[in-house]
């Protein structure tokens, strides 16, 4: 499923937080940006194991992947005043576990059609994420078992994907590329590698959409090596473009890098570990002042204030209970009431 697009902007918007995981409910919270406090605002039946969520560019619909053997995708209409969810569609994800990608049409009412495109990589390739690039004309798929990032051209009218040129960019043998995010300037991409716990920086060709590796650095403290049970998970660029964050499982931390705006290269700032327990997913508030972390082993969400000058984090308070094994947390700005 494509990751969540850029947020709405404008006055009078209320941030709502959605949490998915390995239980049927999608939890809904209101976010107070001044205090960092999360206040429960309801829940919705997310099907079976709604482990990853996304939403459309206009914030009218939310989508949930059901991580079950047959693979399902559910869609919900978002109540713009309350953040509540009403199910409006369901369809196959055209895959049984990691091995395939698909393109699913979304109707004007949020309903889901059958996939118009399906590509089978094979289970050993383990495609882990599908993400459209800047301009919505390219698609990138980090393939953990490849190991490589697959590159496609995307026709947004037909939903068809065709191989890019080249059709992939190779990763190190044991890297395990997992998730990807783009710099706001559209010139750089960052891939977090699950197996060897590294972060790769790529230059993005604006014409061809091809990636070229610039550097790869560790997500762990200097001289520390990955230990048993260690792996990375998620990656996000701060809206300012000044900082990059990644989640380390096992080490139970967020790694913080400063981004050089000219070269895209990374300089380690440090690691945040307070209140973090196996961070499967995290999200940066669109306003840029907060980071929310889904603690899969902590049954909670941790909220941090972001130092806009240094990129460092400060806990907003104790973690908020968020159900068993939360694997996704995301902030959606809505008109509220």
Domains and CATH numbers, the chain: 14-334 (2.130.10.10)
d(CA 206, CA 138): 10
Question: Residue 233: is it exposed, middle or buried by C-beta count within 10 angstroms (0-12/13-18/19+)?
Answer: buried
Per-residue pLDDT averaged across 277-294, rounded? 97
**Please, are residues 102 and 94 in contact by the beta-carbon 8 Å criterion?**
yes
Question: Residue 3, Cβ neighbours under 10 Å: how many?
Answer: 18
Residue 97: its pLDDT value, please?
66
Supply the mean pLDDT for the chain. 94
Q: Is it the case that residue 1 has pLDDT exceeding 50? A: no
Give dist(CA 52, CA 29) in Å, integer.
17
Least confident segment among 52-56, 111-115, 204-208, 247-251 = 204-208
Strand order of the β-sheet with 50-55 is 50-55, 61-66, 72-78, 85-92
Nearest-angstrom CA–CA distance, 258 and 277: 24
Label residue 184 by pLDDT band (50, 70, 90): very high
Report yes or no: 155 and 139 within 8 Å, Cβ to Cβ. Answer: no
Nearest to 54 by CA among 119, 131, 121, 122: 131
The confidence score (pLDDT) of residue 223 equals 85
For the sheet with 253-259, list strands across it: 231-237, 243-249, 253-259, 266-272
Q: Please state whether the peptide bond connecting residue 147 to the residue before it is cis, i.e. omega within 30 degrees of 0.
A: yes
pTM of the model: 0.95
How far is Cα 107 from Cα 101, in angstroms, rounded to an integer?
A: 20
pLDDT higher than 80, residue 5: no
């Amino acid at each position: 499923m494509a990751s969540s697009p850029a947020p709405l902007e404008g006055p009078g918007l209320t941030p709502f937080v959605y949490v998915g995981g390995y239980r049927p409910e999608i939890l809904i919270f209101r976010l107070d940006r001044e205090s960092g406090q999360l206040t429960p605002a309801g829940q919705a039946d997310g099907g079976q194991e709604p482990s990853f969520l996304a939403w459309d560019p206009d914030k009218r619909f939310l989508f949930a992947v059901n991580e079950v053997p047959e693979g399902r995708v559910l869609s919900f209409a978002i109540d713009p005043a309350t953040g509540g969810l009403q199910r409006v569609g369901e369809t196959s994800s055209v895959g049984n576990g990691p091995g395939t990608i698909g393109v699913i049409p979304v109707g004007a009412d949020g309903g889901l059609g059958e996939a118009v495109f399906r590509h089978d990589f094979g289970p050993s390739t383990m495609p882990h994420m599908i993400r459209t690039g800047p301009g919505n004309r390219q698609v990138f798929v980090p393939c953990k078992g490849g190991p490589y990032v697959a590159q496609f051209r995307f026709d947004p009218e037909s939903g068809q994907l065709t191989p890019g040129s080249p059709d992939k960019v190779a990763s190190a043998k044991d890297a395990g590329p997992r998730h990807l995010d783009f710099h706001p300037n559209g010139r750089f991409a960052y891939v977090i590698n699950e197996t060897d716990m590294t972060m790769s920086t790529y230059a993005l060709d604006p014409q061809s959409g091809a990636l070229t590796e610039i550097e790869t650095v560790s997500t762990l403290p200097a001289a520390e090596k990955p230990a048993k049970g260690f792996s990375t998970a998620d990656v996000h660029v701060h809206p300012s473009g000044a900082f990059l964050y990644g989640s380390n499982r096992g080490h139970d931390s967020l790694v913080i890098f400063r981004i050089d705006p000219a070269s895209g290269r990374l300089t380690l700032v440090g690691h945040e570990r307070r209140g973090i327990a196996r961070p499967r997913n995290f999200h940066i508030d669109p306003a840029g002042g907060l980071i929310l972390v889904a603690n899969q082993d902590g049954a909670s969400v941790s909220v941090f204030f972001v130092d806009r000058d240094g990129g460092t984090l400060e806990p907003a308070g104790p973690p908020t209970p968020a159900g068993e094994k939360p694997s996704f947390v995301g902030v959606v700005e809505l008109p509220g009431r």
